[in-house]
Amino acid sequence: MADIAQTIPPLAAAAPPRRDWLRGLRGHLFGSEYGWAVAFCVPYVAVFLAFMVYPLGFGVWMGSDPELYRTLFDDPLYLHAAVNTAIFVGVGVNAKMVLALLLSGFLMRPGWPYKVLLAIFVLPWALAAWPAFMSVHWMLNGEWGLINNFLWIVFGVDGPHWLTRDDLAFGAVMLSYLWKVLPFSTVVLIAARMAIPAEIVEAAKVDGATGWRMFWHVTFPMIGNIYLISTLLSTIFALGDFNTVYFVTGGGPANSTHVLATLGIRYGYDLAQPRLGVATAFSTLPVLIPLVVILMRKLRTLSVQQ
């Protein structure tokens, strides 16, 4: 019996020691060091709760009624705005990225004229959205606008009413969006091109890769991940972009150029229906959440490859 008792370990030794969770949070800090660490963390936690958790939770509560979405889907203006949003995001983002890809190869050429041109090209992106788009709005004014006055003085013809025709107004929105955001994507792709190792470029040239062969077999595969990430980010930002439509056309004429972002503003402020405005914004989540998930996975894959 004594031998059997010796082979059985004590219960205290068999059970792993229980670590206090407060000690795990404390780490190696004790006394005043722990107090200072808590004091520095409290403001950040308070700001996060006040400006992130509370607004998001309040918005979810405001947009949680299913009846709101039935009202939205029965509204022809919402369906029209959804189609406009799909065109604005799908055409605008892809056109921007293709143009940025082409311009990045042109503007990264050596020589001071290209550097000066790049500096001028970046100016629209550096401008604040309100004055930039308001200037476009007044340039397109049918009676006193700069463009129509130019057409009358130089060619003696009356220009079209840019902002009173839905097709011209929405075309002005698309061009204004490209003019404003194209420089940033171009600079990103220029940086991606400059990060291509010179050894790979020289080896490709030795193998006879020049012109379009260099682009398709060397340049684009090397910057493909950056191009994809920029496209995903641009799509996410474009879904929530209300500055372009709001300041260029105001959603007119006759609410024909609204996108979901500006329609939510109209519901919430102009029509005093904040819950319907929140529901309009939340209706983009079935598209927005998969885009964010894909972006996070792509960023994680890119960090592992590096």
Q: Which residue is listed with tokens 């009356």?
A: 158
Q: What mean pLDDT comes out for the span 267-279?
A: 91
Superfamily of segment(s) 68-305: MetI-like (1.10.3720.10)
Q: What mean pLDDT comes out for the span 17-27?
A: 55
Q: What mean pLDDT comes out for the span 103-123?
A: 89
Q: How many residues appear in the chain?
A: 306
Q: Determine what percent of the chain is predicted with pLDDT higher than 70.
A: 88
Residue 288, pLDDT above cutoff 70? yes
- Residue 19: which pLDDT band, with cuts at 50, 70 and 90? low
The lowest-confidence range among 4-13, 25-34, 53-62, 180-189 is 4-13
Q: What mean pLDDT comes out for the span 147-167?
A: 89
Q: Where are the domains of the chain?
A: 2-57, 68-305
Q: What mean pLDDT comes out for the span 247-276?
A: 92
Closest Cα to residue 121, out of 164, 181, 162, 165? 181
- Write down the mean pLDDT value for the chain: 86
Question: Is-cis flag, bond preceding 124, omega within 30?
Answer: no
Q: Could you read off the pLDDT of 188-240 as tens digits, one per residue?
A: 999 999 988 888 888 888 877 777 888 888 889 899 999 999 999 999 999 99
Give pLDDT, residue 14.
47
Give pLDDT, residue 31.
64
Q: Is 130 exposed, middle or buried (0-12, 13-18, 19+ CB in 10 A)?
A: exposed
Q: Could you read off the pLDDT of 46-76 as tens digits, one per residue?
A: 999 999 899 889 988 988 888 889 999 999 9
